[in-house]
Amino acid sequence: MSGRSKNKPEVNCDVYVLLCCYVLQKCSISFSISISIDPQNLFPLTVVSTKNYFCFTTRINGYCKRQFSRLLSSHTENGLSTRSVTFKRAPHYILCSIERDSPLAACLYGEISIPHYGSQRLMNIFDTKDLEYNQKVDDRHRCNWKEGDWTDDSDQMILILRTLVQNGGKFDEKDFAKKLRHWVRHGYEELGDTGGCGLGRTTASVLSHRDFLKNPHKAAKDVWEGSGRFIAPNGGVMRTSVLGTMEFPDLNKVIENTRSACMVTHADPRCIASCVAVTIAIALMLQREYVFNNGEHDINAIMSTAHWYAEQELKETPQYKDELKHHMFAESIDKLELDSPRAIGYTFKCMGAGFWAFRQKDFREAIQAITMEAGDADTNCAVAGALLGCKVGFRKLPKSWVKGLCHRGWLDKEIKSYFTLLGLQH
């Protein structure tokens, strides 16, 4: 049996350089970066603080070499040179290349590239091993979407992407609120939308609050309190997975962004806890803090840590702690009762579906199993796709699902803008 690795294996993205630079940045320590280029585009990079508190060496690829080219003065005929550059703060491009088969890319595409039919009657029509976009049943509800289109879950996730990109990596709740209201009224006009489709009742109520644009958190809290502090739907957790990828080395920052994004429309602690559980799990995977010697993630350790952080959001409502644990660690998908008529959109059910999928190995099989449970299938699959996608990587996503997206080119540009913000290759 593989044991936990103390010396983390080499990975495609240089998480460790990022972490080192982040620590130096937070400590307000100036540091230098010495670069030696070799002809094979693989070169060591050493980060050393001016006070010699830290020293770290790793490898990065040609993308980072190109990013640093402006800082390098010269190189010799054999391609070797060294120059030190001092930064007061870590630049964006210290984040090294993360290619399209990375966990980060798979997290984003995994949430969107899912044929979420959500109808039990499909079990009698199609082989569940072969669900594809062209098998969509155009009933009164599904006729609102084109073949290969995604739903409001992913639409709102893209709004979060845009908020981060346009605010230099900062999540601004007022800007997101403004974008959300515009989306509700117009959709993505460049895609031919005439309005946002699939909006939940809680989100609609919050958006109609007179203070929504000025203070969205207050508006959401007012609506929640007006319900007797009862409503806890999945409209927050469905869109916030991406925040596990932003500043993922700093879990406190991940939680701060996650809370803020959720509370724009959903103030119940159960909603916040659900979002935190998902984004912390994603951040931990990107950190590769919990891995075995064979490079695979320690699922139990990630889930236990994510559960602990989520539970902290329930300090004022401890009566929900057992329920949180039940849904996060459900032994089978049947235990979640995703098609329960009275709780079809409950936030813990959606989060539970995500973590059930996280423990599976095959992306297609897991997403299809959740789809066949019916219920709020598109939302359950969105969270499941983000978690499992981040775990298995981009190459393990079904090719037909990714290639079959009807607005693939547009989506690629949106994700590329986000990767550019992070200084990553796409």
Q: For the chain, list the domains and their CATH numbers.
A: 93-422 (1.10.4080.10)
Query: What was the pLDDT predicted at 124?
Result: 40
CB neighbour list of residue 163: distance below 8 Å, 6 or more residues apart = 171, 172, 175, 176, 179
Q: Which H or E element spans position 35?
A: strand 31-36
The DSSP-derived string for 336-394 is G-TT-GGGTTBHHHHHHHHHHHHT-S-HHHHHHHHHTT-SSHHHHHHHHHHHHHHHH-G
pLDDT at 345: 93
Q: How far is CA 179 from CA 99, 164, 182, in A?
A: 29, 12, 5
In this predicted structure, the answer to whether residue 118 has a pLDDT above a threshold of 70 is no
Determine the Cα–Cα distance for residues 217 and 256; give it in Å rounded to an integer. Answer: 13
Tokens of 168: 């230099």
Least confident segment among 91-105, 172-186, 232-246, 295-309: 91-105
pLDDT, one tens digit per residue, over 213-254 is 999 999 999 999 999 999 999 999 999 999 999 999 999 999
Q: What are phi and psi of 111, to 5 degrees?
A: -70, -30
Burial of 41 (0-12, 13-18, 19+ CB in 10 A): middle
Mean pLDDT, residues 50-77: 34
- pLDDT, tens digit, for every residue of 319-346? 999 999 999 999 999 999 999 988 999 9
| Distance from C-alpha of 362 to C-alpha of 367, rounded to nearest angstrom | 9
Q: How confident is the model at residue 402 (pLDDT cuts 50, 70, 90)?
A: confident
When pLDDT is cut at 50, 70 and 90, the band that residue 136 belongs to is: low
pTM over 0.85: no
116 CB-near residues (< 8 Å, 6+ apart):
151, 367, 371, 377, 378, 380, 381, 382
Q: Which of 181, 163, 133, 118 is nearest to 382 (CA)?
A: 118
118: left (phi over 0), alpha (psi -120 to 50) or beta: left
Residue 92 has pLDDT above 50, yes or no: no
Token pair recorded at residue 153: 């879950």
pLDDT band at 152 (very low <50, low <70, confident <90, very high): confident
The span from the CA of 424 to the CA of 95, in Å, is 7
Q: If pLDDT is split at 50, 70 and 90, which confidence band does 269 have?
A: very high
- Over 70: is that where the pLDDT of 352 sits? yes
pLDDT value of residue 68? 39
Share of the chain above pLDDT 90, in %: 54
pLDDT of residue 197: 74
3-state DSSP helix/strand/coil percent for the chain, to nearest 5? 50, 5, 40
104, two tokens:
């980060």
* Confidence band, pLDDT 50/70/90 cuts, at residue 135: low
Binding site membership: which residues? 151-153, 376, 378-379
- Most confident range (mean pLDDT) of 1-15, 85-99, 321-335 is 321-335
Confidence of residue 128 (pLDDT cuts 50, 70, 90): low
What CA–CA distance (Å, rounded) separates 268 from 259?
11
For the annotated binding site for Mg(2+), the residues are 151-153, 376, 378-379
Coil, helix or strand at residue 42: coil
b/e for 236-262, b at 16 or more Cβ within 10 A? bbbbbbbbbbbbbbbbebbbebbbbbb
